[in-house]
Structure 1
Amino acid sequence: MKYGEIVRGIFEKRINRFISEVYIDGVKLQVHVKNTGRLKELFQQGAKVLLECSDNPNRKTQFSIIAVLKDGVWVNIDSQAPNAVAFEAIKEGRIAEIGQVDLVKREVTFGASRFDLYFEQGEQKGFIEVKGVTLEIEGVAMFPDAPTTRGTKHVLELAKAAKEGYHCAILFLVQLKGCRKFVPNREMDPVFADALLKAEESGVQILAYDTMVTEDGMVLDTVVPVELIE
């Protein structure tokens, strides 16, 4: 996945979920934040950031933050990027646990949920829900960084689909390099963590991959070990 024009900036402060103040070439500007999560461990005053420049003259903000430098590593924070990266990877057969597919579509409805990806392999049909992961603590990738009733709903709906014969997977896409494992953030959301265990028991694959984050893009890279129970 590639971005268009990218500029560097220095993070100043977050105004609300959608807007932050950033210095670009010494000028303080209000910019769009492409993630409504908390991101407190990333949005520190003085942090280096990457911003995508919009070519839409009608936008209120010209720039959007897409990545933050943390401990020398770029962390992509674009909440729309994981789905795009996963779609490319599935289409190209680069996720070994899924393999080559005949068809892949984005945003397909099943029951009361809309899953990120739908795929077909011969007569086998399946769904993949993609969760972007930006929270890293001492080399451990964690999700979620805030309680997510919507995420829990998706997990339980996937478990239902798996019981009906669909090939189902949850892909935690870690938006940085260097994590040694992935664990659910039970302290933040025990209900979500329990839902993951239930889903795995129902036959849902729980997968995690990290990504190679560059200044103008992000691509799926290598498997990250998953531990549902620490």
Structure 2
Amino acid sequence: MSAPVFPFPPGTRPGVLLRREKRFLVEVELGGERLWAHTNNSGSMLGLVRRGTEALLSPAANPKRRLPYTLEAVAAGGGWCSVNTLAPNRLLAWAFAQGLLPELAGATAIRPEARSGESRLDARFETPDGPLWVECKNVTLAEDGAALFPDARTERGRKHLEELMRLCAQGARVATFYLVTRADAACFGPAWCVDEDYARAFYAALDAGVEAWPWLARVDEAGIRLTRRLAVVAP
């Protein structure tokens, strides 16, 4: 029996990526027409934005929106790679509702975008043992069989790890959920070559008790399917 699928919006269809401009704009060819689409990915999308790359685009929920499509995924690593940065948060909540993540066994409720101190973390789950705080990240970079995060320097990401460590020191259970949609990935680790500060904070967080949940998922035109949890490479 195949794994349940977290669906893309109805009408999602393949096109061709032509170029990226001003961070949140991509020009695509769709059904023989050239048009501008929205991308919410503020990262570099290192190695993904190449002219002629196949792309998956979903129609805007509001037909009057200026940009009629959103970039969901691009072809990379022998499959589709999800570049929609909202996907990890949405998939985490959906997987919780579906009972798909063993890490969330016993959790009874979820509060998205929960505030902790001066930070806002992606989810707070209620469990019999107290709150479980989870931060979500989208992983699009891979090299030599390893999925890597981040693809650009991220002070914000490092601060999230510091906040998780602070909560962990207070006795809370905390984790980072990494959604990996690179078909060529067999393990996961921080991208030292991109952001040494984040990499050091990542391993410091593990030593402090922060859990890392890198989950590999398969993407097709229907949506995203969780497959298995990846091992974390040693520092």
TM-score normalized with structure 2 length:
0.92
Task: Pick from 207, 222, 228 the counterpart of residue 201 of structure 1.
Answer: 207
Letter in 2 for 1:53: P
Q: Are 2:160 and 1:160 aligned?
A: no
- Deviation per CA, 1:147-187, whole angstroms, max 9, x where unpaired? 00000000010001011111111111112334111010112
Between stretches 95-104 and 1-10, larger displacement belongs to: 95-104
| Corresponding residue of 1:16 | 22
Instruction: Note the 1:98-177 alignment, pairs <5 A.
Output: 98-177=104-183
CA–CA separation in structure 2 for the residues paired with 1:92 and 1:144: 28
- Inter-CA distance 166–216: structure 2 relative to 1 (3 Å threshold): same
Structure possessing the higher relative contact order (Cα contacts under 8 Å, 6 or more residues apart):
2
| Corresponding residue of 1:86 | 92
| Corresponding residue of 1:188 | 194
CA–CA separation in structure 2 for the residues paired with 1:181 and 1:195: 19
| Structure 2 alignment gaps of length 5 or more | 1-5
Q: Are 2:38 and 1:53 aligned?
A: no
CA–CA separation in structure 2 for the residues paired with 1:121 and 1:86: 16
| Structure 1 alignment gaps of length 5 or more | none
CA contact (8 A) 1:85 1:220 kept: no
- Secondary structure of the 2:159 match is helix
Deviation of 1:71 after TM superposition, in Å, equals: 4.2
CA–CA separation in structure 2 for the residues paired with 1:91 and 1:176: 24
**Alpha carbon RMSD of aligned pairs, Å?**
1.5
- Secondary structure of the 1:66 match is strand
Between stretches 101-110 and 150-159, larger displacement belongs to: 101-110
CA contact (8 A) 1:34 1:66 kept: no
CA contact (8 A) 2:77 2:184 kept: no
The number of residues matched between the two structures is 229
Identity %: 31
- Inter-CA distance 158–55: structure 2 relative to 1 (3 Å threshold): closer
Between stretches 195-204 and 106-115, larger displacement belongs to: 195-204
TM-score normalized with structure 1 length:
0.94
- Inter-CA distance 77–156: structure 2 relative to 1 (3 Å threshold): same
